[in-house]
Structure formats: structure tokens, C-alpha cells
Homo-oligomer: A and B are copies of this chain.
Amino acid sequence: MSSENIPLLEKENLDLPQKRGRGRPPKDESSKDEGNRRLELINCAARLFRVNGFAATSTRDIASAAHMHSGSPFYHFESKQALLFEVMQSGMHSAMARQNQALNTLSGHPCQSNAKEQLRCLIRHHFEVLLGTGNDFIPVMLYEFRSLDTHQQAVISQLQRQYEAPWIPVLNELYQHQLLSCPVKMARLLIFGALNWSVQWYSAQQAASLDELTDSAILLFLHPHTPSSK
């Protein structure tokens, strides 16, 4: 006879090292592969959420794109919504880090004369975040905010404020020197709108480059410095 008579409770003693119970993996060692699988899930989810929207994307679609079976995403994430939240959070942290890097390439002295260059740098980087190849995370964040619950929305809003924080002194500077005529708070909302909307119409094949987009935006928003006002 066989192991059929072994009581169920004793089967737990058969656990091998690689087996663990259900649920997400512990954060510690040995999870390099699992971290890769988790990252692959996030990347696939970001793309599908961007293309089809959150509600129209099934967890089966995501699993299939990541070469998993239908139930497996729930080994890494407790729910579809938690996966969306993770996409947005990691996208924002990455975008903020790259924005700070971009700003650091400019001169270390934030003097008045280069506020225009700082704005150009911020706009150029934001177009990269929105339109760069493989950058699906921020568009998802922008267009699926309502799919989060209240607490998640509060977290993402806080990250958005952090991301926008470097823009405010730059816009203030430009406003004080009359390169910007619109009050700063409203200018920030309208400028971000103009940039964020580009994900709706930009096509890398036929349209302008991101540098050309940036030039156009600067021309639209900033007034030429009239010599008499020097």
C-alpha cells in the first residue's frame, strides 16, 4: 500500500525547501528569479493597462503576456488593483529619480538666467517619461487614477506633488521676469495638461522628435524677453 493513508496533517512534513505556502514570497534571499518574474509581470501589466485600459485588461491577459498560467499573478500580487498600484508607484519613483538626474546635468547654480533652461530640461524629460519607448508606467498612472482606491490615490497624489515640486521655483522665477504671464499655479496645470495630452496623439514614426516637441512647448509658453524690460 501507499501513502494514501498518511493523514493530511502529516503531509506538511513532506515540504521540500523550494516549497512554500501560498501567498507572496518573503522578501529575503533566493528570490532573484522570482523578482524577475515579478518585474516581468509589472512590465507586461503596464503595457496592457496602457493599451487597453485597466478594466478592459484581464489578469489572464497579463499572465499570458508574462508566460504564466491564469492563477499565477496572484502568487505575486494580492489583487489586480494591487498590481496597478505597483505599476504606478514604481513608475513614479523611476520618473522622479530620472528627473533629478536630468536636473543635475544643468549648472549647479540655480541663478535667474537659466530658469528657462531648467524649464526646458524639465519639459524635455517629461516628454521622455510620457513618450519614450517602453515608458508605459506614467501614462497608466495618468489615465487610470480613478481605478485606485482612496488610500492608493492619496499615495499617488503625494508622489505627483513630489514630482512637480522642482517645477514650482522655476515657474516662479520665469513669472517674476515676465517670461511667463500666467499665474504660476494655473500655468503649472495648463502646461502639464499640454504635455500629458501628448500621449493621445504622439506617434514616434511620423511626428516630431521629443526635442522638437520641447522647442515648440517653450515657444508656446514662454514670452520673448523684450529688451526694454531688461
Contact = CB atoms under 8 A, between A and B. Distances in A.
Interface stretch (A82-90, A102-110, A219-227): A219-227
A39 interface: no
Interface string A162-190: 00000000000000000011110011011
Interface of A: 51-53, 55-56, 142-143, 145-147, 180-183, 186-187, 189-198, 200-201, 208, 213, 216-217, 219-221, 223-224, 226
Nearest to A183: B216
- Work out how many copies of this chain go into the complex: 2
Given A190-B197, A193-B193, 11 more contacts: A52-B146, A55-B56, A142-B200, A181-B220, A189-B197, A189-B198, A193-B194, A193-B195, A193-B197, A220-B221, A224-B226
Given A194-B193, A197-B197, A226-B226, A182 B53 contact: no
8 contacts: A53-B55, A181-B224, A182-B216, A183-B216, A186-B208, A187-B216, A194-B197, A220-B221
Contacts of A55: 53, 55-56
Contacts of A53: 53, 55, 146-147
Contacts of A191: 194, 220
A213 B186 contact: yes
A58 to B, nearest CB: 11
Nearest to A222: B181
Give 4 closest A-B pairs by Cβ, nearest first: A193-B197, A55-B55, A182-B220, A186-B216
A227 to B, nearest CB: 9
Contacts of A189: 197-198, 201
A201 B197 CA distance: 14
Nearest to A199: B193
Contacts of A147: 53, 56
B221 A223 contact: no
